[in-house]
Amino acid sequence: MFKTLVAMDVFELKSSRPVLLLISPGLYLYSMAIGQLDPGRAELDWSPEILSLFFLGVGLTPFFFKSWCRKYYGYIVFSVLLLFAHYLIITSALNQFHLSYLLGTYVVLFGGILLLNHRIWIIIYTFSSFVHLLVQLRSADFSPSDGGAILLSLATIFIFSTFIQNGFIRYKYKLRKQNIDLEFEIKQRTKALEKRARELSVKNKELEEFAYVVSHDMKSPLRNVHSLGAWILEDINDGRLEQGKVNLQLLMDQVAQMDILVDGILKYSLGIEKKTVTTLLDLNEVLDGLIRANSSDKVVIEKDSSLPRLVADRSQMIQVFQNMIQNAITYNDKPIAYINIGVMDEVDRFTFYVQDNGIGIAREHFDRIFKLFQKLNDDKSGESGGIGLALVKKIVSKNGGDIWLESKEGKGTTFFFSFFKEDVLFNFGSKKNLKESFACAEVP
């Protein structure tokens, strides 16, 4: 609250600075003029000179301490104006509220309210000035009618100046709220544009990978199909039916491989582009079902810890865990494949892991395994198209997460993937955006 009272924005700072600088020579010249017109005036010793130098110093302060004044200059302005107002009331009382002093006091009191930037300052300023003037009038030799007229005129000035300044303050808060709303909207749109730019960058990389697949991975089996077709034709013409059967089987294997490649492209490009169904998902239920489906006499899958409930798409989470479990089973050379799955609950994210005792991966291949149709070992079954980990990475990245691994050849691999809690949990933390923060301040 204190920071709100004493802080000044750039416009208020620039407006107050010249006024305070002008008061310095104005006060001295006004005092000299009154002295010439009324030689018998009563004045506090050296007060005009001291106050003039004081206002000069206050007016020059923002030129040398800009950042400090932005935070605390409102307190200085209020203190100076309050001091000057009470000084003028005392001077007016010493001169029996002569018209020249009374008019000067009224002008300063009116102008002082217009320089204050908060309603609390205005209330303290007007109330203390009014009470001080009332005390001085009661102690002076003044008729009730004259004293009442002075108080009534001062009250009128206070009321009208307060109305004017209140309108300024209300307009200032309105502009500030509009600026904050606009800044918030710009930040949100900037984030959306940055997200869209990242998505376009990923799309471009995917297009490059597809171009490679079409030109290399699919072109090779097509050439093989053409060659095998020619060999079969020769075998038929030469009457080598047994050899023709062998070549025909090879041709069918190549067609099956092409089918795996095409299916992998469809899964990778379309599998998570469809509209997702985001619900509060219990990962324990999902994983228990996958453990039952993939466990056997040669495959043991265990949960090291209870998994959380996330706001996520069910089919995508099934794809992530199923592909990682299948990868751990496929690339395992041990009599029994042991797979451990768990989660580490960190400050701002959930980090999941899938650990196996398989063949392991050399460090130089860590990045390669997440690329489309990349396999480090020949899959004798021919059922793997090198799509699983690429699909997992795509799903994790699309949900704002990250994926990495630790591995040693012959000793197994641990895959890690993490999601930020603010992306997968409702009402995570107690963060406030700009609009919520502004609501805590005084809004008229």
β-strand pairing of 299-303 with 337-345:
parallel
Average predicted confidence (pLDDT) for the chain: 77
The predicted pLDDT at position 212 comes to 63
With a threshold of 0.85, does the pTM exceed it?
Answer: no
Instruction: Give the single-character DSSP code of 217.
Output: I
Residue 436's pLDDT is 41
Residue that is written with structure tokens 């009128």 in the block: 156
* 406 band by pLDDT with thresholds 50, 70 and 90: very high
Q: Is the pLDDT of residue 437 over 80?
A: no
Give 355's pLDDT tier (boundaries 50, 70, 90).
Answer: very high
Is the pLDDT assigned to residue 268 strictly greater than 70?
A: no
The CATH class that applies to domain 276-429 reads: alpha beta
- 387 or 439, higher pLDDT: 387
Taking residues 264-279, report their average pLDDT: 61
Quick check: 171 pLDDT over 50? yes
The residue that leads in pLDDT, 338 or 277, is: 338
pLDDT digits (tens, 9 = 90+) for 291-329: 888 888 899 999 988 899 988 888 788 888 988 898 899
pLDDT in tens, 180-225: 888 888 988 888 898 888 878 877 876 776 666 566 556 667 777 8
The domain locations on the chain are: 2-186, 276-429
pLDDT surpassing 60 at residue 423: yes
Q: Pick the range with the lowest mean pLDDT from 69-78, 229-238, 259-268.
A: 259-268
Residue, of 264 and 286, whose pLDDT is higher: 286
Judge whether 435 and 180 are in contact, CB under 8 Å: yes
Give residue 434's pLDDT: 38
DSSP 239-292: T-HHHHHHHHHHHHHHHHHHHHHHHHHHHHHHTTTSPP-EEEEEHHHHHHHHHH
Residue 149: predicted pLDDT = 75
Q: What pLDDT digit, counting tens, does each position of 68-97 carry?
A: 777 777 777 778 888 888 888 888 777 777
Q: Please provide the DSSP assignment of 8-77 as one string.
A: --HHHHHHHHHHHHHHHHHHHHHHHHHHHH-TT----TTHHHHHHHHHHHHHHHHHH-HHHHHHHHHHHH
Instruction: Please give the pLDDT value at position 350.
Output: 93
Any idea which residue has 């600026």 for tokens? 179
Q: Tell me which DSSP letter residue 335 carries.
A: S
